[in-house]
């Protein structure tokens, strides 16, 4: 966690409170502690928290009661549950009350940091999504902004596909809104009253992702200090969303295929078979058919998950939606800034946006509008005037007259300009482009961009 967050820990055990404080404060978080539910609610009223880590079983006001209040009164605050009594029933109930994740006690420092970091990243990637354990309230078609013919047809198809039990594969470039579509599919499905669970397919090593998916028995491997409930069990009767499934190793692909065929799992280190009933939705920005040819993705798994394909067009292919999206994000971020005066996007900015290629798609537009609103000091917003280069009409010095160039050339130059402007801070650049650091690293490798590339480019300008 490279960004400072404000975290509230509510637990009646002093040792647990101190442990959470030590683990998170060392990573730069501003950590507040409460020894009971009443004190925790008082602190929630006094200041804004990015996340609350709370025990379920406490004297007086229980963790379940606090979850209900957070869900109703503080929907922007992430809730993560820790408990010494991990059961399927408590996990499911906590998720239904809005908990983002569930950690059994005792846990390792890395487990707490990983779960919290993943939850905060997921919240940053959401567009006005208030995570609820009972699927996706506020996750209907209206959250998918667009009035172009292709988007109207897409919305109609989503509702049709949602009513089936078939697996869905969502494809599209990074930042096109694949998770929004997955949540909408769940929202309109017969499973909407049960859990919608997300799995970051490339975020963990094989041993950890097995534990995440299937759970594990105490003592099954180093660090398995208690039983853990897997995501398949928590998603029982609901939906399991595999984000960027192409990042999953062949070993895990094989085990996932078996679960899809048999509808049962075995926890790591366990012997008992557990029946599971989940609908699978997967997403990827990679061409899986090419990955199959390369031997990096199983053909039989591909056919299992690609029963209903949905492809999301990049923003450059639906330019008529750009002003609509810009207004949507303007309204959203003005609300966060608590500005009451009328604010509008300048005409020159709209023209520039219409001509820009948007390699980061809708997510890049969202981040650009967020930055513009936070930095604007009058009633006119020009996102490109706060991009770091005030002498151009497009982000990072791009000329809007780029039609003659190939898209990959534009994207390559865009990344190089970002590296120049932001001092090679790749984490910051990835966030501003609306992609993760791994995707940025892959793009730099594909386009043969290195620090030397940027330095040579700068030298040529000096000459």
The 8 Å CB, 24+ separation contacts for 339-347 are 339/373, 341/379, 342/379, 343/373, 343/376, 343/379, 343/380, 343/381, 344/379, 344/380, 344/381, 345/380, 345/381, 345/382, 345/383, 346/380, 346/381, 346/382
Given a cut of 90, is residue 306 above it in pLDDT? yes
Q: Over the stretch 342-390, which tens digit does the pLDDT of each residue have? A: 678 888 888 888 988 898 899 989 888 888 877 776 667 666 554 443 3
Q: Which of 18-27, 263-272, 362-371, 391-400 has the lowest mean pLDDT?
A: 391-400
How many Cβ atoms are within 10 Å of 270's Cβ, its own excluded?
A: 16
Longest dimension (CA), the chain: 72
Under DSSP, is residue 301 helix (H, G, I), strand (E, B) or coil?
A: helix
pLDDT value of position 126: 53
Nearest alpha carbon to residue 13 among 35, 30, 29? 35
The pTM (predicted TM-score) of the whole model is 0.62
- Average pLDDT score over the chain: 80
**Start-to-end Cα distance in the chain:** 40
As a whole number of angstroms, the distance between CA 168 and CA 133 comes to 21
Looking at residues 382-399, what average pLDDT do you find? Answer: 43
* pLDDT surpasses 80 at 187: yes
Pick from 214, 172, 23, 7: nearest CA to 100:
7
pLDDT digits (tens, 9 = 90+) for 254-286: 999 999 999 999 988 888 899 999 999 999 999
Whether the predicted pLDDT of 158 surpasses 90: yes
From the list 55, 49, 54, 137, the residue with the least C-alpha distance to 96 is 137
Helices (H), 47-196: 63-73, 88-96, 109-125, 149-162, 178-187
Q: What angle do CA 403, 405, 410 make, to 5 degrees?
A: 100
Report the pLDDT averaged over residues 189-216. Answer: 81
Give residue 57's pLDDT.
86
pLDDT at 378: 64
Pairing of strands 264-265, 274-275: antiparallel
**Spatial contact of 234 and 195, defined as CB atoms under 8 Å apart:** yes
What pLDDT is attached to residue 352? 85
Average pLDDT over residues 76-92: 77
What one-character-per-residue DSSP string does 186-200 give? HHTSTTTTS-EEEEE
pLDDT digits (tens, 9 = 90+) for 208-255: 788 888 888 877 776 666 777 888 998 999 999 999 999 898 989 999
């Amino acid at each position: 966690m490279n960004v400072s967050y404000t975290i509230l820990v509510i637990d009646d055990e002093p040792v647990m409170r101190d442990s959470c404080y030590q683990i998170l404060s060392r990573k730069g978080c501003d950590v507040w502690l409460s020894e009971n539910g009443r004190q925790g609610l008082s602190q929630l009223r006094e200041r804004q928290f990015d996340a609350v880590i709370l025990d379920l079983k406490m004297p007086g006001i229980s963790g379940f009661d606090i979850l209900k209040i957070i869900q109703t009164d503080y929907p922007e605050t992430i809730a993560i549950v820790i408990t010494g009594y991990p059961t399927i029933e408590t996990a499911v109930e906590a998720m239904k009350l809005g908990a983002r994740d569930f950690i059994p006690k005792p846990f390792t420092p890395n487990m707490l940091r990983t779960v919290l970091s993943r939850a905060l990243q997921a919240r940053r990637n959401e567009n006005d999504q208030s995570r609820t354990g009972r699927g996706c309230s506020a996750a209907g078609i209206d959250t998918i902004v667009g009035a172009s013919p292709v988007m109207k047809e897409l919305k109609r198809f989503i509702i049709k596909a949602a009513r089936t039990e078939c697996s869905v594969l969502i494809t599209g470039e990074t930042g096109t809104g694949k998770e929004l579509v997955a949540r909408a599919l769940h929202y309109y499905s017969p499973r909407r009253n049960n859990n919608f669970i997300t799995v970051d397919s490339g975020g963990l090593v094989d041993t950890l992702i097995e534990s995440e998916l299937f759970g594990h028995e105490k003592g099954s491997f180093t660090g398995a200090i208690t039983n853990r409930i897997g995501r398949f069990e928590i998603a029982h009767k609901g939906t399991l969303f595999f984000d960027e499934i192409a990042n999953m190793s062949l070993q895990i692909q094989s085990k996932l295929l078996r679960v899809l065929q048999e509808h049962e799992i075995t926890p790591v280190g366990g012997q008992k078979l557990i029946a599971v009933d989940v609908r699978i939705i997967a997403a990827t920005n990679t061409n899986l058919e090419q990955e199959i040819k390369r031997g990096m993705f199983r053909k039989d798994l591909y056919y299992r998950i690609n029963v209903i394909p949905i492809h999301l067009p990049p923003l450059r292919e639906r330019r008529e939606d750009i002003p609509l999206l810009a207004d949507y994000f303007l309204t959203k971020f003005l609300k966060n800034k608590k500005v009451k005066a009328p604010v509008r996007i300048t005409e020159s900015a709209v023209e520039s946006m219409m001509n820009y290629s948007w390699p980061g798609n809708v997510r890049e537009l969202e981040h650009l509008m967020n930055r513009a609103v936070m930095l604007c000091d009058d009633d006119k917003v020009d996102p490109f005037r706060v991009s770091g280069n005030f002498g151009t009409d497009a982000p990072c010095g791009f000329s809007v007259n780029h039609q003659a160039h190939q898209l990959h050339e534009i994207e390559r130059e865009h990344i190089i300009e970002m590296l120049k402007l932001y001092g090679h801070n790749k984490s910051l650049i990835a966030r501003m482009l609306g992609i993760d650091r791994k995707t940025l690293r892959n793009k730099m490798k594909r386009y043969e961009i290195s620090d030397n590339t940027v330095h040579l480019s700068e030298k040529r300008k000096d000459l």
